[in-house]
Structure 1
Amino acid sequence: MQIISTTNQNRINVDIKALQTMYSPRAIVVLWLDVASGALKAPFYNQTIDICSLIKNPGTHRLVQIIYRELKRNGNMPTGCPIATGLYTFHGISPGQMRFPPFFKQADFIMDIIGLEGMAKVHSIDTRWHGTMHKVKCTARERC
């Protein structure tokens, strides 16, 4: 993963190498908001997602769909299951272009994404993201 920062935006590059074919991938997505106070509250969002179902129908998980849409736009997202071995690259992802609902105010956040595979729930990826959400003013040049 690489974060490229400029004075007015951040871009994220992510490379994921699938070392084996995944037949039943799932992801646990947990999002905490307003974590700056130091007191971790109950998660705002906590879902286990069947990745094959998400690929077929991204709208079933509205919050995850926002991120999925940007990944698909900026890389070679798998188009179905099973997910083949290989390198999946997502370059130039702009969090500022993700269309979050208007009730998302400026807030510090922590997001965990844990990838699981198979009945044994083998961890395939385990990430934690920290950051601050900012409202982005839309312009004619930028999609938002």
Structure 2
Amino acid sequence: MATRDELYAKFGITAEAAQLFEVELGSLLLCARAIEQDWSFKADPDKARKLLRDIDRSTLGHLLRSLEKCVVLDDGLADRFASALHTRNRLFHRFYESHNFKIQTDAGRDGMMSDLEAMHVELFNAWQIASSMTATATAFLLRLRRKGD
């Protein structure tokens, strides 16, 4: 039976996965724009700074839409990222509301923990996929830069 403290800790761990996914999408968008703008050969610090500022101010949904404009995501990956976005929004905007008074009982808290675990798995996996994509894009940029030296 989950305690309130365990429930709150699981919420925090799940929130961390959501934020890591969001940061990774921002990093991937930055890499994609660097490739698109050919910054590997001629850096443009002003445009990069502006893009980074825009990324930092963006919602996860906006980041995803911006990314889809410059990176082709197959339907399965696009659906997976869209589902992670939906899960993130449900976590931050509706989790406690949707569970209402369940926090008051042992069985209710256990159900909330199960929901958080499923959310965590989805968000963690989306983050891992985005992270692999960013690593690939970064390696590509570094190879381009080495060829240009």
- The TM-score, its normalising length taken from structure 1, stands at 0.29
Structure with max Cα Rg: 2
Bigger helix fraction: 2
1 or 2 for the larger relative contact order (CA 8 Å, sep ≥6)?
Answer: 2
Bigger strand fraction: 1
